[in-house]
């Protein structure tokens, strides 16, 4: 891994999440259960890989308030990333595309309100501990 995160996303899309956020860990567990193609890999923002990816895409690793999806050298944040991931799961999750009917400024404003209050509303926890079968989908362990 380079310091700027280059090369990390070459093997498929990566989701950078807050490893100590209960809501964010719930999102990862949700995806692990429903991503039957095992397409997505994960990096907690508290890891070297997560920090490098955030910094490489203009997000402050010390003040992260965005969900980040990196795929094919492109990055999506906030609700654009969420809609993209859910739509890729297929089936009824493609209905998440309806979120795009709301203006982006409104969707992201609601997202950021939740993101700013995530610890207070949902709490904090230790990082998700993947099973042996899931371990290969996580880029590295927390610092």
Give the pLDDT confidence of 23-62 residue by residue, as tens digits.
988 999 999 999 999 999 999 998 999 999 999 999 988 8
Closest residue by Cα to residue 125 from 25, 46, 16 = 25
Q: Tell me: the pLDDT tens digits for 67-121?
A: 899 999 899 998 999 999 999 998 898 888 888 899 999 999 999 899 889 889 9
Report domain extents, the chain: 8-126
> Rounded to two decimals, what is the model's pTM?
0.81
CATH code reported for the domain at 8-126:
3.40.30
- Tell me the backbone φ, ψ of residue 43, rounded to 5 degrees: -140, 120
Cα four-point dihedral sign 134, 74, 45, 65: negative
Q: Show the CA angle centred on residue 56, arms to residues 58 and 40, nearest 5°.
A: 105
């Amino acid at each position: 891994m380079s310091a700027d995160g280059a090369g990390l996303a070459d093997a498929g899309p990566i989701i950078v999440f807050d490893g100590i956020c209960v809501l964010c860990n719930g999102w990862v567990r949700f995806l692990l259960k429903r991503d039957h193609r095992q397409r997505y890999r994960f990096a907690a923002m508290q890891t070297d890989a997560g920090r490098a990816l955030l910094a490489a895409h203009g997000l402050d690793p010390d003040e992260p308030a965005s969900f980040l999806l990196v795929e094919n050298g492109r990055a999506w944040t906030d609700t654009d990333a969420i809609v993209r991931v859910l739509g890729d799961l297929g089936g009824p999750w493609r209905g998440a595309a309806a979120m795009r009917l709301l203006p982006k400024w409104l969707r992201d404003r609601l997202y950021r309100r939740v993101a700013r209050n995530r610890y207070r509303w949902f709490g904090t926890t230790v990082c998700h501990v993947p099973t042996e079968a899931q371990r290969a989908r996580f880029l590295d362990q927390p610092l």
